[in-house]
């Protein structure tokens, strides 16, 4: 506990887990937004708890995780396409993420306006269906998270502590993040666009096309900063319009 190297590894892994987990929280917020209001908090908490459990189990079988990088499908000669178990999971997870995000975008653009929706149409998804989708998403993000953790730290207790603390922090703020995303349609659309980008990145990773994380998260951070300026401008414009002449 007094080793500086362990603390540096713990803090670095904790920060990375938070970055990876934000994507998870945003998507969980969008999925649970289709549930009735009284079920959303329960679904978010259960989804994040399952993510924590899944990551701890995968960390405990880290040797199996490492084995997933062995080639199981080979197309062509040695220079051809080589797919491992991890690659297949990333491919399927990326396709699932892109599909869900595109369908959500399509529904919001082509579907009925929120103001015109009947009260009974709110929460059209079933609780079990949402949890299953959250589990599929957790499997993808958990695998990526665990492989990152195994590559950085060789002590199971440090990995579990970093993962537990990061997901615990996300549980605390998941409700606020969900409310903010659902309250601002432009933010929700931006978040869905990010998920398409991240899903495409997972597909590329599955085909062994490595994309540096700063290349992905840099534009995302810039777009979020621009959207924050837009929200601030609209808020101040509304305040000015409310003032008496």
Inform me whether the pLDDT recorded for 117 exceeds 60.
Answer: no
Average pLDDT over all residues of the chain: 77
Q: Phi-psi bin for 84: left (phi > 0), alpha (psi -120 to 50), beta? A: beta
Q: Quote the pLDDT of residue 145.
A: 67
Give the C-alpha separation, 168 to 52, whole Å: 9
Alpha helices (H) in the chain, listed in sequence order: 4-32, 37-60, 62-67, 85-110, 127-152, 156-183, 185-206, 213-242
Q: Quote the pLDDT of residue 66.
A: 62
Give the C-alpha separation, 226 to 231, whole Å: 9
Q: Are 56 and 146 in contact (CB under 8 A)?
A: no
Tokens of 211: 């994309």
Q: Quote the pLDDT of residue 2.
A: 65
Confidence of residue 11 (pLDDT cuts 50, 70, 90): confident
pLDDT by residue (tens digit) across 45-88? 888 888 888 888 877 776 676 667 777 777 766 666 778 877 88
Q: Are 77 and 196 in contact (CB under 8 A)?
A: no
Confidence of residue 118 (pLDDT cuts 50, 70, 90): very low
Tokens of 10: 């713990």
Q: Quote the pLDDT of residue 74.
A: 74
User: What letter does residue 212 receive in the DSSP assignment?
Assistant: -
Top pLDDT among 123 and 210 is at: 210
Question: Coil, helix or strand for 84?
Answer: strand
Q: Quote the pLDDT of residue 19.
A: 67
**Cα–Cα distance list, 237 to 185, 189, 190, 234 (Å):** 18, 22, 22, 5
With pLDDT > 70 as the criterion, what percentage of the chain qualifies? Answer: 80
Q: Are 96 and 141 in contact (CB under 8 A)?
A: no
Inform me whether the pLDDT recorded for 6 exceeds 80.
Answer: no
Confidence of residue 127 (pLDDT cuts 50, 70, 90): confident
Inform me whether the pLDDT recorded for 93 exceeds 80.
Answer: no
Q: Are 80 and 74 in contact (CB under 8 A)?
A: yes
Inform me whether the pLDDT recorded for 121 exceeds 50.
Answer: no
With pLDDT > 90 as the criterion, what percentage of the chain qualifies? Answer: 0
Inform me whether the pLDDT recorded for 238 exceeds 80.
Answer: yes
Give the C-alpha separation, 88 to 115, whole Å: 41
Q: Quote the pLDDT of residue 139.
A: 75
> What residue has token string 């059209």?
124
Rounded mean pLDDT of 33-51? 85
What lies within 8 Å, CB to CB, of 216 at 6+ separation is 197, 198, 201
Q: Quote the pLDDT of residue 116.
A: 44
Q: Are 89 and 83 in contact (CB under 8 A)?
A: no
């Amino acid at each position: 506990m007094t080793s500086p190297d362990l603390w540096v590894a713990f803090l670095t892994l904790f920060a990375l887990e938070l970055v990876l987990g934000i994507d998870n929280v945003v998507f969980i917020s969008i999925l649970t937004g289709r549930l009735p209001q009284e079920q959303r908090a329960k679904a978010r908490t259960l989804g994040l708890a399952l993510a924590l459990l899944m990551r701890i189990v995968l960390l405990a079988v880290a040797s199996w995780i490492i084995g997933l990088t062995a080639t199981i499908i080979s197309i062509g000669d040695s220079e051809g396409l080589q797919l491992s178990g991890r690659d297949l999971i990333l491919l399927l997870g990326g396709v699932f993420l892109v599909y869900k995000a595109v369908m959500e975008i399509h529904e919001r653009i082509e579907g009925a306006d929120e103001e015109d929706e009947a009260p009974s149409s709110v929460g059209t998804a079933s609780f079990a269906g949402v949890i299953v989708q959250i589990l599929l998403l957790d499997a993808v993000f958990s695998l990526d998270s665990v492989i990152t953790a195994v590559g950085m730290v060789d002590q199971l207790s440090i990995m579990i502590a970093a993962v537990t603390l990061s997901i615990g922090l996300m549980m605390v703020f998941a409700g606020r993040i969900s409310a903010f995303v659902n309250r601002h349609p432009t933010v929700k659309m931006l978040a869905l666009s990010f998920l398409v980008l991240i899903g495409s990145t997972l597909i590329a990773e599955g085909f062994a096309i490595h994309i540096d994380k700063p290349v992905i998260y840099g534009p995302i951070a810039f777009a979020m900063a621009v959207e924050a300026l837009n929200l601030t401008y609209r808020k101040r414009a509304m305040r000015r319009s409310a003032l008496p002449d």
